[in-house]
Structure 1
């Protein structure tokens, strides 16, 4: 605003004041009261609010706790003591009831959908309580000059306010009415619809506060919140039961433990400033429980004796859990005792049903870590945690256990272990056999609640043939050195091997990771030195390798894959195929049920096909793969190491034999006389015809084989290896040569092609055309999305797990990379071959070649 505008503004203000006949200095004079007048007014206000307080107590129901609560009919009041203003609180919001419509969408009781750090501030002048929120990602020494800048540049924001309705007799607490943040009128404390991704709003006239409970360090408010969703053109009511926990955090946060990329923990990012820095320090805190020895046991602990922690980790089993599954779940928790003993603690973890002594037990109360059992058609389990964001301390963990997780376990065991285990073949398992599987899943999910991430690289530690050894698997305890891998069941072992240890168990990596995360040290300096030493002592042992989970859409490091086994994906998959052939041979026998239809047969059949595709993906990831090692100064490791030439070539040979040539034993067999492969859908079983299914799945593999990222990784590796004289590497030319020779071998000989052979050529040409055209698209369109996983179940899709293995940019400026040259050259090569062969073979083959020529001409604008 310039000076003339300012002058005009002042003039306008003066005119307005004159028109109101108000002297300019009147307002100031009005405020100039004597101290005596102000004191009398303050005492008067205090007396009024104190009187209101007494009236509230007479009318309402009073409960003592962290905040005393007063309920007057439908109104809810918090009494906040002065001692708790400017303290840190965490709001934790959970679902406590859901209707069918939300259940079907995958949201269920026990889910934590929103957390927020807040502080309350009393403003006596404005007679308000302000609620502010902040992101506690920054810190600095209190005495450093930069601390003032940190406070100003990472300040709090006002989230909500409440009028002060009353105060107690001695003015040490104030009373606020809080209905609006719990009954759906305001979203500041609880935005359940945003948390669930529902683009609607709460109907306040159909919503209300249900109950409130207050305890010494937390309180919970339960509400019923109603909205409407439009389904098929009509509005449908949806009422959600929600529980808001307000948790008082410690005045002094737990001493954080800094993350190391070589051990897999969930983390909280943190920025640290101080006066001596030349640059801000960015570190990550691991998320962990605060396990400490009791004061009287510290000396014994430091001398290497096992001691009980000051406060053990307790998991409560949801009373809604069917009785036959309670003990396996409890045993899955207790299996971790051995790992915590490695960290120096005995009886550190306890799992139990709530008893009469737990008089305040509430599944939704954050004082209780609960394994919540969910009635739902969803097949899953997950283990999230509530974190103190100031330090990474886990203050509560919940495992959400869906009833139908057993369908996933049943499918895995039948397909992966049925050939070697008679107990895993029927349409229904014994409770004992299913209980063993539930115990394994319980252990895996509990591992997440300790802060552990997936370690998808663990299974790479075992040689494939070792998995066929009864002695080795019994000694090592299953399929991988970590239960945090997705090394489900031993599909490598053959019937003649006699292997019985086929279920994953707590392994050496798990005990090592718990020791690294939970061993207690007296000082931060001792901790840092000991933790670094622990990693360095194990860095060359493959059993302690940590491989982070990657997006299944773009695997870079083939060692860290989901659902794979062993150190050689090709050999493991070949053994797996032998067992799949045995499953296919027994499909009708294993699913036989007198008088029933073939639904179970079709379901098991599509699961078997899905397992075949899973093996293909494991092998495929080696082509263009790069081993991403944990290189740090002093350990001599190469950060980027291309998968060896021999392994990539062997992988391509496997795909040639088992994908480019469709396995007829899998897609065309006697099962088709009774049923097609079946996949459940919302409208009933979906029946896949064999030719359509084979075509779709083969196309998926070919398309992914030719994906730009893979070809660019091959190009990068070729360039680096040649420039640094590091030896032979697998190239894009090798890939195209092997693929072309496999697909067009009969074309070069002028022979007629079968339907499946024509199908493969069309798939290859179309994948080349589509992927080439995408390079020149100006808009960011979605690529082909095929349901290539079929009926292979997944598990524990964690909300807070990062699925990107480092940010390595292979894809910038793809249009001007070698990828376009290779793909266009391959299309022209195919066109030339088709032109030569277009007069050979039977009529169907000739028509096929003319079609290929036409497609390529149109794609390349020839």
Structure 2
């Protein structure tokens, strides 16, 4: 073969290389990007990865794009956190590895680095066979069809549970799988895939909601390249409420492995560092941009933008201008995809869930937030309507209607979105914020116009239910931003130029918190989801005195109930009034329960040694005593809840007063369980003996005085005997968890963001009756609710529980009282006492 023939043959070989055969196949679709390219060939998917990106950190996420059922599928949501991954190459294989970021080390110790590299390697998730290289060998090509374009347990498309108690089992149906659109960009690529499942949903594995029902969805898988130059982390402090990720730190400078946390925050850097240093307002290199769904009702769009950009007021105080931006979904940008991990969006969810949520996702190496979503469910407007009416109709005539005025809707939507964007900026709930303000200040025009109802919109402090009908000009809403919210922005985002490392920042950050120590407006109160200890860190409350706030609130509820029928005129079937009446009962329940948390309550505050404050401090005994008496009085005197003329216009029902009493009775009678720990840690305790004396005198007050019994008296006395029977009459019976939240607390305080507790309340209530009052909360804890959110942990008090002796003493006092009153009683009262005595005798005799 001559030279010319050889060259011709070589050209033919080049033209028919394996790579060319792949990319030149008929029907091939290629998405070419600066980062990676995707090839869709005959139903298969190939990644073409430049070798320069081998070993680079990436995030891999799966986002729900569409679904045939919106009960458990939230469009725009990621069922699981993105995977932190990288690709590596060994011989003829590409390995997808999860990046191990659980530990850091002292960089001055070379040996420590070597030890960790050996001990904390990056585990393999998947191996891919190299199909070919591109023609200049700068990129490797491998088939990823099974991993990226089909069902994959490592990239779940459906949640495994919903609300913490609905277990979801989804069996993939390959008949509904199809690889759809592929896109590639500067630093990411997306793959859309149709998937199908048969779904079974059960409540704690006991009650089946759905069985093998078909569901079709589309998911968007995003592979996002993380910055090579990492953001400086910021080390967390437990005295401030910012989402965090825990880390281990290895160094011989300590005699143990150090545990620390880094906060979640966006990467904000000034465009002009010199101007920023001079104190001038400077725009960030990369602002925090949220894209607003074009599916929102038109009325909502502008307040959504206003609520989002409200945070700019706080960023301006630390030198950043236009740090947060809210933009419409682009109409003329073919690259825009709201389900791409690259874009943070505010999405509209057409669902009956009455809520909104603001999750975010981070680079686990540094805590840098790279993506966030605000999901606004359609029925949040229903919740706003009910809140506004039940909490402010006594003073605001504009809300005395079935439908809220547009201005109220816009004001409320802006507040809801601002709260959720706060989460997206990295901020936790601060449930202690509203307890900073004196109750009577909430009736002051000058105070409320300046400060609103709370120092932080990250609290669940809604509207001003303290304000009375004559308090003209009082602000009824939370502030646009509270002073604590502005402090959050400063602490999380203020640059500290003199510090060269995250650890060098710590003394400055600590000093900022030291300056605020002891000031209630800057106190952080962890949300107490499953264990409730601190009465000052509670959702849906206002002010520093729940008894005084409750008195004002109950006065308003009576006023609203007496006018509800005339105010809500256009309601032919009564359904709206019925919803409002149920909300009114829930509001009353919260007023009583807010006060009951004082009994056995313990104030919890994270403090640093040498600064003001106590880490824990029992509620003063005189406050506990007064709170118990206040709650007992309300229990006896709540017959006003039954508005008979109004109730007769609604569906068949029992008295609202009896409904509330039946819900409250158990929590009121079990409050002794909290007193055990509170008395144990107090220097001047409200003792169990004093508590049971007060409880006895409160429950049996009318009996002792020989007065006629109310319905409340009879119900409370009956429940008291049941409690005695349960505890005294069965010495081997296992007790429930003392501090665990009840089902009614989960529902009435909005602790279940999924809305499933409310939806399946009757089913869960029957389970609670069968398995005990703490059953639902215990199951939620076992299912991991609250993981990583810095909840208050449970304290086991079994070792110090001597309550049975006091219950036994009270039982004998009741027995003596009943025996003395039966001979002189008549009619129903006499039969009531005889029934109680019969049951009590059985308990005391151990039958």
Place the TM-score, normalised by the shorter chain, in its bin: 0.7 to 0.9
Counterpart residue number, 1:53: 19
1:713 to 669, 677, 680: 677
Counterpart residue number, 1:118: 85
Measured in 2, the distance between the counterparts of 1:839 and 1:676 equals: 42
List runs of 5+ in structure 1 lacking aligned partners.
Answer: 1-43, 678-686, 722-727
Q: 1:369 to 1:702 in 2, by over 3 A?
A: same
Measured in 1, the distance between the counterparts of 2:262 and 2:826 equals: 68
Offset, 1:462: 0.8
Counterpart residue number, 2:505: 527
Counterpart residue number, 1:10: none
Counterpart residue number, 2:764: none
Measured in 1, the distance between the counterparts of 2:710 and 2:151 equals: 67
Counterpart residue number, 1:833: 817
Measured in 2, the distance between the counterparts of 1:326 and 1:492 equals: 31
Measured in 1, the distance between the counterparts of 2:137 and 2:29 equals: 21
Counterpart residue number, 1:540: 518
Counterpart residue number, 2:663: 697
Measured in 2, the distance between the counterparts of 1:422 and 1:703 equals: 39
Report the secondary structure of 1:201's partner residue: strand
CA contact (8 A) 1:49 1:165 kept: no
Offset, 1:191: 5.6
**CA shift digits 1:240-260 (9 cap, x unpaired):** 221111111122321110111
> Which region of structure 1 is more displaced relative to structure 2, 560-569 or 776-785?
776-785
Measured in 1, the distance between the counterparts of 2:72 and 2:731 equals: 35
Measured in 2, the distance between the counterparts of 1:791 and 1:597 equals: 25
**CA shift digits 1:19-51 (9 cap, x unpaired):** xxxxxxxxxxxxxxxxxxxxxxxxx9xx89982
Offset, 1:410: 0.6
Counterpart residue number, 2:780: none
Give matches, 1:80-95, under 5 Å.
80-95=49-64
**CA shift digits 1:784-830 (9 cap, x unpaired):** 9654677776685698675664435242446xx21222223222322
Counterpart residue number, 1:184: 150
CA contact (8 A) 2:395 2:468 kept: yes
Q: 1:550 to 1:528 in 2, by over 3 A?
A: same
Report the secondary structure of 1:145's partner residue: helix
Work out whether 1:767 is the aligned partner of 2:727: no
Report the secondary structure of 2:17's partner residue: helix
Offset, 1:110: 3.0
Give matches, 1:628-643, under 5 Å.
628-643=604-619
> Which region of structure 1 is more displaced relative to structure 2, 693-702 or 498-507?
693-702
Report the secondary structure of 2:83's partner residue: strand
Offset, 1:233: 8.5
Measured in 1, the distance between the counterparts of 2:447 and 2:297 equals: 36
Work out whether 1:490 is the aligned partner of 2:464: yes
**CA shift digits 1:362-402 (9 cap, x unpaired):** 11011111001111111110000011111111001100110
Counterpart residue number, 1:809: 795
TM-score, normalised with respect to structure 2: 0.88
Offset, 1:232: 7.9
RMSD (Å), alpha carbons: 2.7
Measured in 1, the distance between the counterparts of 2:263 and 2:100 equals: 17
Q: 1:310 to 1:776 in 2, by over 3 A?
A: farther
Measured in 1, the distance between the counterparts of 2:302 and 2:209 equals: 44
Give matches, 1:371-382, under 5 Å.
371-382=346-357
Measured in 2, the distance between the counterparts of 1:531 and 1:584 equals: 50
Offset, 1:234: 6.4
Work out whether 1:354 is the aligned partner of 2:314: no
Give matches, 1:66-215, under 5 Å.
66-100=35-69, 103-105=70-72, 107-124=74-91, 127-141=92-106, 143-190=109-156, 192=158, 194=160, 197-215=167-185
Offset, 1:533: 2.0
Measured in 2, the distance between the counterparts of 1:757 and 1:359 equals: 69
Measured in 2, the distance between the counterparts of 1:499 and 1:736 equals: 45
> Which region of structure 1 is more displaced relative to structure 2, 848-857 or 764-773?
764-773
**CA shift digits 1:53-76 (9 cap, x unpaired):** 101111122221121111112111
Q: 1:150 to 1:703 in 2, by over 3 A?
A: farther
**CA shift digits 1:153-175 (9 cap, x unpaired):** 22222211111111111222211
Q: 1:332 to 1:755 in 2, by over 3 A?
A: closer
CA contact (8 A) 1:699 1:767 kept: no
Counterpart residue number, 2:4: none
1:408 to 369, 383, 386: 383
**CA shift digits 1:589-612 (9 cap, x unpaired):** 122127x12221211111111100
Offset, 1:855: 2.1
Offset, 1:541: 2.3
Offset, 1:705: 2.1
CA contact (8 A) 2:393 2:400 kept: yes
CA contact (8 A) 1:258 1:284 kept: yes
Give matches, 1:386-535, under 5 Å.
386-476=361-451, 478-505=452-479, 506-522=481-497, 523-524=500-501, 527-535=505-513
Measured in 2, the distance between the counterparts of 1:290 and 1:775 equals: 59
Q: 1:193 to 1:453 in 2, by over 3 A?
A: closer
Offset, 1:742: 1.7
Work out whether 1:605 is the aligned partner of 2:581: yes
2:628 to 645, 649, 652: 652
Counterpart residue number, 2:5: none
Measured in 2, the distance between the counterparts of 1:185 and 1:106 equals: 16
CA contact (8 A) 2:67 2:217 kept: yes
Offset, 1:503: 1.1
Give matches, 1:17-56, under 5 Å.
51-56=17-22
Offset, 1:616: 0.7
Q: 1:539 to 1:461 in 2, by over 3 A?
A: same
> Which region of structure 1 is more displaced relative to structure 2, 442-451 or 211-220?
211-220
Report the secondary structure of 1:351's partner residue: strand
Offset, 1:842: 1.6
Offset, 1:93: 1.6
**CA shift digits 1:74-108 (9 cap, x unpaired):** 111101111111111111121111222xx224644
Work out whether 1:740 is the aligned partner of 2:696: yes
Offset, 1:676: 5.5
1:258 to 235, 238, 248: 235
Give matches, 1:561-576, under 5 Å.
561-576=538-553
Measured in 1, the distance between the counterparts of 2:713 and 2:161 equals: 49
Counterpart residue number, 1:730: 686
Measured in 2, the distance between the counterparts of 1:621 and 1:316 equals: 41
Measured in 1, the distance between the counterparts of 2:357 and 2:247 equals: 26
Offset, 1:751: 4.8
2:533 to 531, 542, 556: 556
**CA shift digits 1:633-689 (9 cap, x unpaired):** 211432221111222122112102112x14111135432232259xxxxxxxxx454
Offset, 1:282: 0.8
Report the secondary structure of 2:213's partner residue: strand
Q: 1:795 to 1:752 in 2, by over 3 A?
A: closer
Q: 1:652 to 1:194 in 2, by over 3 A?
A: closer
Aligned length: 786
Counterpart residue number, 1:580: 557
Q: 1:730 to 1:650 in 2, by over 3 A?
A: same
> Which region of structure 1 is more displaced relative to structure 2, 783-792 or 696-705?
783-792
